[in-house]
Chain A
Amino acid sequence: MRFAGRAVAIEQDNVDTDVLYPGSYLNIEDPDLMSPHLFEGLDPALRDEMAPDTILVVGANFGTGSSREHVPLAMRASGVSCLVGKSFARIFRRNCLNLGLPLVDCPDAVIRTETGARVEVDLDAGVVMVDGDLFTVAPMPDFMRRMVAAGGLIPWLRAGAA
């Protein structure tokens, strides 16, 4: 699995799901109606950076807090294809993988990346390229890689993999 796109960088550590998608909008069910509220408590201008090939490059413990799936649903609806981070909070990581939204832990690549950089992620080879510079990442566990390759938990279950 390979992803390539334009980086949008969020440098802070411990970015929580409340600033990514405030609680007052949790009564929205349609992902297309969620995306106008993405990043609302963090920096609404980030929404203008979203494009169909966006790779979000984020700090440590990204997505800490609530289990609200609205965050990765809104990201996917906004065009985010992959996340590269220093590290991710547990539930946020699960939610992304379950929705077929891959994420990789690569602190060195994050430090090197600014918004606008060209980022390529190769999950099979375990590498991240930032404007031509190569960084290696620990291989994603087989289970997660197969699930993401299937498109997420639901297609993986439908295929009878469990």
Chain B
Amino acid sequence: MPHTLAEKILLAHSEADDLSPGDIVMVRVDTVLANDVSGPIAFRQMEKIGARRVFDPARVVMVADHFVPAKDARSAALQKRLKEWAQDQGVAYYDQGRGGIEHTLLAEEGWIVPGEVIVGGDSHTCTYGALGAFGSGLGSTDIAAALANGEIWQPVPATIRVRFDGRKGGFVSGKDLILAVIAEIGVAGATNAVLEFVGEGARELTIDERLAVANMAVEAGAETGLFPADEVTRAYLSDRLTRRWDELRSDDDAEMAGHVRVDVGALGPLVAAPHSPGNVVPLADVAGTLVEQVYIGNCANGTITDLRQAAAVFRGRRVHPRSRAVVVPATQTIFRQAMREGLLDVFAEAGAMVSTPTCGACFGGGMGVLAADETAVATTNRNFRGRMGSPEASVYLANAHVAAAAAVAGELVDPGELIEAPAS
């Protein structure tokens, strides 16, 4: 029987002889992730299960990233609990200053292996699809079961195949590709499904851009967003992991629940307007919108690629007096790389604030939340009402070129008004 990539991964991790969409099976997990928000609740649930030790300390990783650095004593207590629990269990732990935002970090650190199953107490665990891994975001009780037993209950998802035709140009990035998909299928369009990204426009994406695309699969309701691992994946992983892995892909005659095609060559920068990631419009439709804050960072678009794009705009320019800008390298490694390349100095000279890696203001946690009646442009993945602070604030989601240009102009503008488009 032909199978999709998602089905092949799940079948290899279950006792089932065969499986198809809608079946519920127990699935073995290769890696379990939690953070300072989801971890402590999961630990309490794990105690209620009656499990004292994790199923395999080598397969568990804890990352302090949400309220980092701690904004108050309560947040500090969560991080203290996370650290002490990790040390007691003998599992990997990334403290502030040593790690960064979990999803960018785990890819960078070689935790993510194509064909493996990674469960995380964070909805953007779908990001790992960028490397051909089944990354599934779960709540704390599921994570507790995974920590205790190394397995989860899993409804087998259908697959929606997304074909990116052509090659992107101008100021188009991975962000625009996934926004185009969400615009097409809607915020619930991939419920009970995974997205699978194929075509020339998918293959030519760097891993940084694939991370940006896969990260927002959940914004279409998908469980994960898979890029079949290929030579780009292999090059990225060559100095990150030693484990063997296969280039799995869907069988040619595997059944798809739907097909989406995006003409990448015809695409211009897109923006998700308030208050939904599905409220996608061409940048030109909202040009001229005045902007009080620009936020460049998060698990979707805080990579070195994003920082380079932002720096190309900021170099030799200043943040507009109306605006303020916050730049958040996603990991400590990216932070240092940006420092070596002089990018942090470009940001600081432009009048932007550079933050330590943190989830921060993306979810309203701290480090740059918004006041009522303020408008922000963010490279993050959600612009729900109140997400970044006041329920009366407005957030536009955009790529790093567009965000940086908005900071310089004090309003949403085509980056082409400031700099030459990069060669594609």
Contact = CB atoms under 8 A, between A and B. Distances in A.
A152 interface: yes
A29 B40 contact: yes
A18 to B, nearest CB: 4
Contacts of A94: 138-139, 142
B252 interface: no
Most chain B Cβ neighbours within 10 Å, of A18, A27, A153: A27
Contacts of A153: 141-142, 145, 153
Contacts of B48: 154, 158
Interface residues of B, number: 52
A89 B26 CA distance: 21
B139 A68 contact: yes
Contact of A41 (B37, B140, B391): B391
Contact of B78 (A27, A68, A141, A152): A27
A117 to B, nearest CB: 25
Nearest to A100: B141
Contact of B364 (A16, A23, A28, A65): A23
A136 interface: no
A66 interface: yes
B41 A29 contact: yes
B45 interface: yes
B267 interface: no
Interface in A114-162: 141, 143-144, 147, 152-154, 157-158, 162
A49 B387 CA distance: 24
B221 A89 contact: yes
Contacts of A162: 26, 149, 151
B139 A89 contact: no
Interface in A45-97: 60-61, 64-69, 72-73, 87, 89-91, 94-95
B385 A19 contact: yes
B141 A69 contact: yes
B384 A87 contact: no
B191 A69 contact: no
B276 interface: yes
A59 to B, nearest CB: 11
A154 B142 CA distance: 9
Contacts of B375: none
A157 B149 contact: yes
Contacts of A141: 24, 155
B188 interface: yes
A64 B144 contact: no
B65 interface: no
Nearest to A141: B24
Given A67-B138, A69-B141, A98-B142, A27 B187 contact: no
B385 A18 contact: yes
A90 B74 CA distance: 29
Contacts of B44: 29
A147 B155 CA distance: 14
A88 B45 CA distance: 23
Contacts of A28: 74
A69 B149 contact: no
A41 B275 CA distance: 12
B137 interface: yes
Interface in B150-185: 151, 153, 155
B387 A23 contact: yes
Contacts of B140: 67, 69
B141 A18 contact: no
B24 A61 contact: no
A18 B388 CA distance: 9
Given A41-B385, A41-B386, A87-B188, A143 B139 contact: no
B66 interface: yes
Contacts of B141: 69, 95, 98-99, 152-154
B239 interface: no
B395 to A, nearest CB: 11
Contact of B38 (A40, A67, A157, A158): A67
Contacts of B208: none
A14 B276 contact: yes
A26 interface: yes
Contact of A91 (B45, B67, B138, B151): B138
Given A19-B384, A27-B75, A158-B50, 16 more contacts: A18-B382, A18-B385, A18-B386, A22-B364, A22-B386, A26-B37, A27-B67, A60-B188, A61-B188, A65-B384, A66-B123, A67-B138, A69-B141, A89-B221, A99-B141, A154-B144
Interface of A: 14, 16, 18-19, 22-24, 26-29, 40-41, 60-61, 64-69, 72-73, 87, 89-91, 94-95, 98-99, 141, 143-144, 147, 152-154, 157-158, 162
6 contacts: A23-B363, A23-B364, A68-B139, A98-B142, A141-B24, A158-B49
